[in-house]
Every structure is written in structure tokens, then in C-alpha cells.
Amino acid sequence: LGFGMTTPATVAGKVFLIVYGLFGCAGTILFFNLFLERIISLLAFIMKACHERQLRRSGLLPPNFRRGPAMSGVGSLVGWKPSVYHVMLILGIFAITLSCCASAMYTAVEGWNYVDSLYYCFVTFSTIGFGDLVSSQNAAYQNQGLYRFGNFIFILMGVCCIYSLFNVISIVIKQVLNWVLKKFECRCCPKCHKSSARLGRRNAITPGARLRRHNISMDADGQYDSDTDGRRLSGEMISMRELTASNKVSLAILQKQLSETANGYPRNVCINTRQNGFSAGVGALAIMNNRLAETSDSR
């Protein structure tokens, strides 16, 4: 914490402090991270159980539902995660409660007022350690051993809780900053704004547009990437493979009609529609069949 009430006086003590602090601080950070992981897991388990109970009361989950196989629907708990804001709220309430309890103990034992005790709790739990207020500095206390044990427990739990709260708050700050940056993205850059406005106009060709477009790339099959909606801009080319893929149904119908006209008549057509064994059809074979029908009539 760095209160500075007890410091090494000899060279050997200072060297030992440097070596011990190097590994001791690293181990302490590891302990805080493990505590944060466990406390987040515990909060997630409790919040998931409360969420499941709420869904069961609202009728979205059956009464005999147990965690295990995935369920489809609104009440599915597969992949459910608690909100970071709820975790921050719970950690904040726990930190405030712990600080209030510790402040009550410091006020009764150290003789500080309650506001100074709260100030001492924050400075100590956040590891700032100004040293203007330090506990356990009097010559004698009533139940001194019990008080020091309680002081140790409060400081340990308080530092772990505030450390976890700071980490969650940092996540929230990052999300807020990303949201703000996304809102103001490219608004200060007229070039980007004009580029986005130009790309927003679909099927519009401007002079030199094909030279300025760098987002159209050709793959190994000779295909060109279209825009995100699947529709092509007017400056793009289309390959025969894409043409046949996009008109597969029409080509199948055309092939069926051509096959029927080549055989003489469609199988699902009534007899009245047949003229001299030929049908109308479509395409080059239909023209040939119509011509043959005319010649057969004339004969």
C-alpha cells in the first residue's frame, strides 16, 4: 500500500525489499486476477440462476428444466452471459457495503469521524496509500489482536473487491469510448464522407469511377466481388458462371421446353393444343417446329 510507516534502514534490507517486492508484487497481482476470475464466475452463476428462475416464472421455461441440452426458443440459456453493467453494479454495492462496515470499525477503534474512515478505506483499498491516516499506530488497543485480524481481513477483501471493480469499470469505459468513436467516425474527414456518400448511390456511374474503385477484386475463377447486398453496381462485369448460377431456374425451364419441342409436344399438354404433332414452344427449335407445322399443313 505504501504507507511508509515501516521502512528498511540498512542496505541489505533495501536490496531484500527490491528482490522480494519483484516477486511479491507479481504474486499479489496474480492473486488479484484469480480472485477476479472466481468472483466473476460466482456472480455469473448466481445471475444465471436468477435469470433461469425469472424465465421459469414467466412460463418461458418448463418447471423441470435442467441445465444441459440446448433448448430452442426465447428461453434458451445456451451461451447466456451476464451483462458487464450488472456485474459492475453488484461489485460496486459490495465495495460500498464493505467500506461502510470497515469505516464503522475504524470510527469506533481509531476515533476518526466516519467521513475520514471512508476516505481511509478508499485510499487503502485502492492501494494509493497516502499515509496521512494509518490504522494500528496507537500504543495499545482494546482487543488488539482481534482488531488487527479484522483490519487485515478488511484490507485484503477491500483491495480484492476494488481491484475487481476497477477492471470492470475499465471495460465499461472502453465500451463507452468505442461507442463515442463510432458515432464520430469519419465526420471530421470530408474525403471519407464524400466517398461514403458516393458509394451510397447505387447504379450510378461517374467519370473515372472504374479507376477509383479498389474494392472490386477478381478471384481465381474470374468472378468479381459485388457489394454487400449481393447486387452489382453498373460498372462491374459478370462472368458466364455467375450468369448461369443466377439463372439456373430459367435455364432449367428453357431446357425442358426445348426438349419437349424436340420430341414433338409437351407431355402435359392436352391433345387440342397439338397441331400436326408439333407444339409452339420457344427458342430455335420452336421456330423450326412451327415452320415444319406450316409446311405439313400446306401439304
For the chain, the structural domain boundaries read: 7-58, 83-187
Q: Are 120 and 154 in contact (CB under 8 A)?
A: no
User: For residue 2, what pLDDT is reported?
Assistant: 85
CB atoms under 10 Å from CB of 95, counted, come to: 21
Q: What is the pTM of this model?
A: 0.58
Cα–Cα distance measured from residue 261 to residue 295, given in angstroms and rounded to the nearest whole number:
17
Separation between Cα atoms, residue 159 and residue 25, nearest integer Å? 13
For the chain, the straight-line distance linking the first and the last C-alpha, in angstroms and rounded, comes to 114
CA distance 171 to 236: 43
What separation in angstroms does the CA of 293 have from each of 80, 257, 268?
A: 71, 17, 20
Query: What is the DSSP code (8-state) at residue 89?
Result: H
The one-digit pLDDT tens for each residue of the chain (299 residues) are: 888 878 899 999 999 999 999 999 999 999 999 998 898 888 888 888 888 888 888 877 766 665 544 444 444 556 677 888 988 999 999 999 999 999 999 999 999 999 999 999 999 999 999 989 999 888 888 889 999 999 999 999 999 999 999 999 999 999 999 999 988 886 666 655 555 555 544 444 444 444 444 444 444 444 444 444 455 555 556 666 766 666 666 767 777 777 776 666 554 444 444 444 444 444 444 544 554 544 444 44
In angstroms, the Cα distances linking 247 to 178, 218, 231 are 43, 21, 14
With contact defined as beta carbons under 8 Å apart, do 279 and 273 qualify? yes
The single-letter DSSP state of residue 233 is: P
Q: 83-187, what's its fold?
A: Helix Hairpins (1.10.287)
CB 84 within 8 A of CB 165: no
Whole-number Å distance between alpha carbons of 63 and 49: 13
- For residue 29, how far is the Cα from the chain centroid? 27
Residue partners of 47: CB distance under 8 A and separation at least 6: 82, 86, 87
pLDDT at position 265, please? Answer: 56
Query: What does residue 298 show for φ and ψ, rounded to 5 degrees?
Result: -65, -30
What Å distances lie between residue 182 and 40, 185, 195, 222, 227, CA to CA? Answer: 28, 5, 17, 36, 22
